[in-house]
C-alpha cells in the first residue's frame, strides 16, 4: 500500500477568501490516494470550508490567534510540531509572519518548508514595522518560496529565487451560460435591462469598498436601473452598510455575504469592478475573466492577472466620474461570450497545476 503524503497548510482561517479558495481548488484536484491536505488554523470557530475539508479526508488543528511577540503562542506552536512528527512538508500562507511557523518547523526537523506570498503589500498601520521585520527572515527558514505572481514574490522575498504557483481555477464551472444568468437574475428580481456591477472580496482595507460605493453612487445618479452586487464578509462590512444607507442605496446594493455559488453569481453580473489598494494576484479576477465578464480594476493590481482583452485599469487618483464613465462605456460596448480558452491557454486551469504541485510534493519527499 502506497503511503499518503500529508501536507500541513498553515493559515489564518479557511473562510471563503481568495487564498482559501485557491487552496481548495488545489485540494479538490490533488490525488488523495497520494497526497492529503491538513490545516493548522488560527481561529477557534468553524470556517466556511471546514466541512468540505473533513469530507475530503483532511484534518483541522487549531492554535490561538497569531501574535508574533507572544511567548505563549510560540510555546504552543513548538508543542504542536513536537507532537506531530508525521509531517514532512509544511506550506505556510501567513504572508509577512510566515517566518515564525517556518522557524519552529525547522527547529523540529521538518525538512520541507514552503513559504507562499499572496500579496504585494501590507496595511501601513502600527503593525507594519513588526511585520516587515519578520518578513525579512522568511528565506532563512524556508526551503521553498512560492508566490502567486512576480510582484508578490519580488515584494516578499526581496531578491531570493521563488516559484510562481498560479491561482488556478476549475474553468468549466465559470463558462458563461445565459440560462444560469437568467435563473440567478430572476432569483434576485433583477430585470434584463438592469445593469449589475459586481465585486467579490473581503470587506477589508485592501479591497477599498468605500471607493467602490462612491463609484456606484455616481453611476446610480446617471443610470437609475443599476445594481451593485457585493459578495463577501469582513470587518468593514458594517461601515460599508452604513455608507450605503447614507447614500440611500439600500434597495440597489445587494449584500450577499459569503457564498458558495460565486461561479453562478458572476453569470448574473454585467461587469466586475475591483478598485483595490493592493493585491497579489486575485483569484476573483481569474474567475471573472473565465466567466466572460469585462473588468475595471485599479492599476495597483498586477498586470499579470490580465488574460482576456476585456480588462481595463484606472488609477485610484482618478475621480469617481472617470471611473463611472469607463464602467458605463465598457458595459455599453461589450458583447459577452465564452472566454474560457484564454484562461486555459494562460495556464490557469486547475487540473494541470494541481498535478504539478502534487508531483513537487511527492518528488521532494522522495529525495529525503
Domain 171-345, CATH among 3.20.20.370, 3.40.50.300, 3.90.1150.10, 3.40.50.2000: 3.40.50.2000
Could you tell me the CA-to-CA distances from 74 to 13, 43, 55, 66 in Å, in that order? 18, 16, 30, 9
Kindly tell me if the per-residue pLDDT of 123 is higher than 80: no
pLDDT confidence bin for 1, thresholds 50/70/90: low
Q: What is the DSSP string of 256-277?
A: --S-S-HHHHHHH-SEEEE--S
Angle between helices 237-246 and 209-222 (to 10 degrees): 20
Tens of pLDDT, residues 52-110 = 999 999 999 999 999 988 999 999 999 999 999 999 999 999 999 999 999 999 999 99
pTM of the model: 0.91
Nearest partner of 277 among 310, 308, 331, 236, judged by Cα = 236
Rounded average pLDDT over 211-230: 97
Helix-then-strand count for the chain, H and E: 15, 13
Contact (CB, 8 A) for 347 and 184: no
pLDDT of residue 128: 75
Which burial class, exposed, middle or buried, applies to 318 when counting CB atoms under 10 A from its CB (0-12, 13-18, 19+)? middle
Tens of pLDDT, residues 155-213 = 999 999 999 999 999 999 999 999 999 999 999 999 999 999 999 999 999 999 999 99
Element (H, E) at 255: strand 253-255
Is the fold of 5-168+349-367 the same as that of 171-345?
yes
CATH number attached to the domain at 5-168+349-367: 3.40.50.2000
Residue spans of the domains in the chain: they are 5-168+349-367, 171-345
Rounded Cα gap, residues 217 and 219, in angstroms: 5
Nearest partner of 38 among 76, 1, 81, 90, judged by Cα = 90
List the grid coordinates of 43. Answer: 481561529
17-21, 85-89, 131-135: which has the minimum mean pLDDT?
131-135
Could you tell me the CA-to-CA distances from 270 to 215, 291, 315 in Å, in that order? 16, 10, 22
Rounded average pLDDT over 218-241: 96
* Choice between 114 and 280, residue whose per-residue pLDDT is larger: 114
Amino acid at each position: 500500500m502506497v503511503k499518503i503524503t500529508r501536507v500541513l497548510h498553515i493559515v489564518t482561517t479557511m473562510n471563503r477568501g481568495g487564498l482559501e479558495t485557491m487552496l481548495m481548488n488545489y485540494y479538490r484536484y490533488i490525488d488523495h490516494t497520494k497526497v492529503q491536505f491538513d490545516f493548522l488554523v488560527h481561529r477557534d470557530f468553524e470556517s466556511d470550508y471546514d466541512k468540505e475539508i473533513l469530507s475530503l479526508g483532511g484534518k483541522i488543528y487549531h492554535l490561538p490567534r497569531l501574535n508574533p511577540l507572544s511567548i505563549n503562542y510560540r510555546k504552543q506552536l513548538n508543542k504542536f510540531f513536537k507532537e506531530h512528527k508525521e509531517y514532512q512538508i509544511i506550506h505556510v500562507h501567513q504572508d509577512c509572519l510566515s517566518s515564525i511557523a517556518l522557524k519552529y518547523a525547522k527547529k523540529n526537523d521538518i525538512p520541507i518548508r514552503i513559504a507562499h506570498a499572496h500579496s504585494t503589500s501590507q496595511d501601513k498601520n502600527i503593525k507594519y514595522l513588526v511585520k516587515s521585520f519578520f518578513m525579512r527572515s522568511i528565506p532563512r527558514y524556508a526551503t521553498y518560496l512560492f508566490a502567486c505572481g512576480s510582484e508578490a514574490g519580488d515584494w516578499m522575498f526581496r531578491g531570493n529565487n521563488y516559484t510562481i504557483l498560479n491561482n488556478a481555477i476549475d474553468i468549466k464551472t465559470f463558462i458563461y451560460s445565459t440560462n444560469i444568468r437568467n435563473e440567478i437574475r430572476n432569483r434576485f428580481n433583477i430585470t434584463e435591462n438592469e445593469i449589475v456591477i459586481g465585486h467579490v472580496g473581503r470587506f477589508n482595507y485592501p479591497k477599498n469598498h468605500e471607493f467602490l460605493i462612491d463609484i456606484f453612487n455616481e453611476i446610480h445618479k446617471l443610470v437609475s436601473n443599476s445594481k451593485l452586487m457585493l459578495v463577501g464578509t469582513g470587518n468593514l462590512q458594517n461601515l460599508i452598510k452604513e455608507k450605503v444607507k447614507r447614500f440611500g442605496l439600500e434597495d440597489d446594493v445587494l449584500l450577499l455575504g459569503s457564498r458558495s455559488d460565486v461561479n453562478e453569481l458572476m453569470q448574473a453580473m454585467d461587469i466586475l469592478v475591483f478598485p483595490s489598494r493592493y493585491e497579489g494576484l486575485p483569484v476573483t479576477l481569474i474567475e471573472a475573466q473565465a466567466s466572460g465578464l469585462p473588468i475595471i480594476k485599479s492599476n495597483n493590481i498586477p498586470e499579470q492577472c490580465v488574460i482576456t482583452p476585456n480588462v481595463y485599469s484606472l488609477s485610484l487618483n482618478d475621480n469617481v466620474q472617470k471611473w463611472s464613465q469607463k464602467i458605463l462605456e465598457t458595459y455599453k460596448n461589450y458583447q459577452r461570450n465564452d472566454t474560457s480558452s484564454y484562461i486555459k491557454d494562460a495556464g490557469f486551469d486547475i487540473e494541470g497545476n494541481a498535478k504539478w504541485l502534487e508531483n513537487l510534493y511527492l518528488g521532494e519527499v522522495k529525495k529525503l
